[in-house]
């Protein structure tokens, strides 16, 4: 059994999709990051970085329990465990390149764009412009790559598509003033819609919708979500 620690953010959503795609049995365990549950000692023992997603696999390599944190690491782990959605050995250089392009660029720039536009206590035009322009640049790189191909890896659905789908579900938050934030990136939009139409994606989106995650952004939420803004909090 796999224990999957999640909330409704893009990175856990990727793992929900992957678990639904591969059909491994799992227990979904909500972690309410707005309440600070990610900072509990019990969770820090699973992910020392205090973030979701994370998994604990009771049937890891050699039958030993395995813990994995960071969404890209989890996608690779589950892909290798099941032999699915990771292409052939010859595809590995391309797969890793795009997976880490998403992990180190598109993902964090999306997160910062959302933060500075929606959560920061003051609107800083330089920061907003910086992250929006970088997101648009990353979108263009992927859009160009996807010209004439259905998926990130030629002809096959992979964890790279799963990874980018997770963040594209929030494109409207990343580029909030656009009526259709993906309209300028038709190949990327096509990829998103293709993945989003998969039955596993519908099941992934439904996960946790009935859990009462905290929605208020009060002082408790700010301290839990942005502890680096509070130097008195020991991390």
Q: How much is the pLDDT for 232? A: 64
pLDDT at 178: 87
Report the relative pairing of strands 54-57 and 26-30 from DSSP bridges.
Answer: unpaired
Give pLDDT, residue 69.
98
For the chain, list residues with pLDDT below 70. 232-235
The Cα–Cα gap between 3 and 10 comes to 18
| pTM for this entry | 0.96
- Domains of the chain listed by start with CATH number: 2-84+203-229 (3.40.30.10), 89-197 (1.20.1050.10)
The pLDDT value given to residue 235: 52
Confidence at residue 90, expressed as pLDDT on a 0 to 100 scale: 95
Q: What is the pLDDT of residue 135?
A: 98
């Amino acid at each position: 059994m796999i224990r999957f620690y999640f909330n409704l953010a893009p990175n856990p959503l990727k793992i929900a999709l992957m678990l639904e795609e591969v059909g491994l049995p799992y227990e979904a365990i909500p972690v309410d990051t707005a309440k600070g549950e990610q900072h509990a000692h019990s969770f820090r023992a699973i992910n020392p970085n205090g973030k979701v997603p994370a998994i604990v696999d009771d049937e890891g390599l050699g039958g030993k329990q395995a813990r994995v944190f960071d969404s890209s690491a989890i996608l690779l782990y589950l892909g290798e465990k099941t032999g699915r959605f990771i292409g052939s050995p010859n595809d590995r250089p391309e797969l890793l390149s795009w997976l880490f392009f998403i992990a180190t660029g598109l993902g964090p720039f999306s997160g910062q764009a959302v933060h500075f536009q929606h959560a920061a206590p003051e609107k800083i035009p330089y920061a907003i412009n910086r992250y929006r322009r970088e997101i648009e640049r990353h979108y263009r790189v992927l859009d160009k790559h996807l010209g004439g191909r259905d998926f990130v890896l030629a002809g096959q659905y992979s964890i790279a598509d799963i990874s980018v789908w997770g963040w594209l579900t929030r494109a409207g938050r990343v580029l909030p003033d656009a009526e259709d934030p993906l309209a300028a990136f038709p190949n990327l939009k096509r990829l998103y819609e293709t993945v989003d139409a998969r039955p596993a994606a519908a099941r992934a989106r439904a996960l946790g919708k009935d859990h009462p995650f905290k929605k208020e952004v009060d002082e408790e939420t700010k301290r839990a979500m942005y502890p680096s803004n509070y130097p008195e909090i020991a991390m």
